[in-house]
């Protein structure tokens, strides 16, 4: 058969088989590093299947998770780059599980992931050439976030406003547990924000615009459920994320745990969010309501609202316009404060986890260098 004849037998109009990508992980205290890995993995294929390890698997291979299994599953499912979530994924990445969900290959960051015995978690998929790497996001990890929380004073008051009424960004990390927020925060570039905002659309004419605002620190399932409910009441959801100085003035010098840019990236990763106002004012102003997208509804959850530094209700203007709505129902049990308390109450347990993880990673690096 000639080459020309063989070419004529090929159906050039046949649909291409969609590429399915397996990404497994803990997704514990999910942060913008997790989201960035999922974003990069999605660019390598058509759909992402996120395998979430069970609490038992994490306890065996890594240490006690901060968030439980159901919380981690819900957070992964809310990521806009995830198409399917699989619970109870094995920590040793399995070809059988990948085949069961018709995944062509798996993707992981370029850092080292090991089992309890120090062996490579991805050895089986690497052996058969079904492994791809994405670039690890520097400067953030669950280990890092746990360390930030461990540096907080357990008895630190929640609403401490500096005596001079200003906000300070130069709080040093000391032996007594104070933290320098700026020292551990990572600033996002314009390119990174554009990457995370990719796929967000403009509102259609006549769309019902809903606006919500907040800190969104340690972006978690409580935030996600609130955003999901808010988005369901309209057609387009705009989220205002407060800057670090404002939050420190209202909540005290131990807040926020993540910088504004880190928090913005996490919010942009949520499938229920259409746009973000970066550094939104604490009080909802006329400028916000009459901005690029005229706001139809301003929503707030059932958690108590602190007045601004002038003692005023931050939703005063929205209430005067008759567009303020408070979501009904009790507050979600998971809050930023409750997550921090999980760490502080079990401080010794998590400090031991941090030490074990550091030692394990160091041993893995040495073993990897010897192999090379």
Domains of the chain from N-terminus onward: 20-134 (3.40.50.620), 142-190+201-326 (3.40.50.620)
Look at residue 302 in the predicted model and tell me its pLDDT. 83
Q: What angle do CA 293, 226, 303 make, to 5 degrees?
A: 105
Look at residue 8 in the predicted model and tell me its pLDDT. 53
CA distance linking residue 178 with residue 189, whole number of Å: 28
Look at residue 330 in the predicted model and tell me its pLDDT. 83
Alpha carbon of 352 to those of 55, 141, 146, 355: distances in Å? Answer: 17, 17, 12, 5
CA distance linking residue 245 with residue 348, whole number of Å: 31
Per-position pLDDT tens, the chain of length 372: 444 444 455 455 678 899 999 999 999 999 999 999 999 999 999 999 999 999 999 999 988 899 999 999 999 999 999 999 999 999 999 999 999 999 999 999 988 889 989 899 999 999 999 999 999 888 888 888 888 888 875 434 333 322 222 232 322 222 223 334 344 456 678 999 999 999 889 999 999 999 999 999 999 999 999 999 999 999 999 999 999 999 999 888 989 999 999 999 999 999 999 999 999 999 999 999 999 889 999 999 988 888 888 889 999 999 999 999 999 888 889 999 999 999 888 887 777 766 766 665 556 555 555 555
Report the sign of the C-alpha dihedral through residues 173, 177, 181, 186, in that order.
positive
Element counts in the chain: helices (H) and strands (E): 16, 10
Look at residue 356 in the predicted model and tell me its pLDDT. 67
Look at residue 1 in the predicted model and tell me its pLDDT. 46
């Amino acid at each position: 058969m000639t080459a020309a004849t063989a070419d004529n037998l090929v159906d050039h109009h046949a649909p291409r088989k969609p590429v399915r990508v397996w990404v497994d992980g803990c997704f514990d205290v999910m942060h913008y590093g997790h989201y960035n890995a999922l974003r990069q993995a999605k660019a390598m294929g058509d759909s992402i299947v996120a395998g979430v390890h069970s609490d038992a698997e994490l306890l065996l291979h890594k240490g006690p998770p901060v968030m439980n299994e159901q919380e981690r599953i819900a957070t992964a499912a809310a990521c806009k780059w995830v198409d399917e979530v699989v619970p109870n994924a094995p920590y040793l990445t399995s070809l059988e599980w990948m085949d069961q969900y018709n995944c062509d290959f798996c993707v992981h960051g370029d850092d080292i992931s090991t089992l309890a015995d120090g062996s490579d978690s991805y050895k089986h998929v690497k052996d058969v050439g079904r492994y791809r790497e994405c670039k690890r996001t520097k400067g953030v990890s669950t280990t890092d976030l746990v360390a930030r929380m461990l540096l907080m004073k357990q008895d630190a008051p929640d609403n401490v406003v500096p005596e001079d009424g200003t906000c300070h960004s130069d709080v040093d990390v000391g032996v007594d547990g104070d933290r320098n927020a700026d020292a551990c925060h990572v600033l996002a570039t314009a390119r990174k924000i554009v990457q995370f905002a990719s796929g967000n659309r403009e509102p259609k004419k006549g769309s019902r615009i809903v606006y919500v605002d907040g800190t969104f620190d340690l972006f978690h399932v409580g935030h996600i459920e609130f955003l999901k409910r808010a988005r369901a009441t309209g057609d387009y959801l705009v989220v205002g994320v407060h800057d670090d100085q404002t939050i420190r003035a209202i909540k005290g010098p131990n807040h926020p745990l993540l910088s504004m840019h880190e928090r913005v990236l996490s919010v942009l990763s949520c499938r229920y969010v259409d746009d973000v106002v970066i550094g939104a004012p604490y009080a909802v102003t006329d400028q916000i309501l009459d901005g690029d997208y005229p706001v139809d509804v301003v929503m707030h959850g059932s958690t108590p609202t602190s007045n601004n530094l002038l003692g005023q209700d931050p939703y005063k203007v929205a209430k005067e316009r008759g567009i303020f709505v408070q979501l009904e129902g009790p507050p979600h049990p998971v809050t930023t404060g409750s997550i921090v308390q999980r760490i502080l109450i079990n401080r010794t347990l998590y400090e031991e986890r941090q030490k074990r993880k550091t030692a394990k990673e160091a041993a893995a690096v040495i073993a990897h260098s010897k192999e090379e």
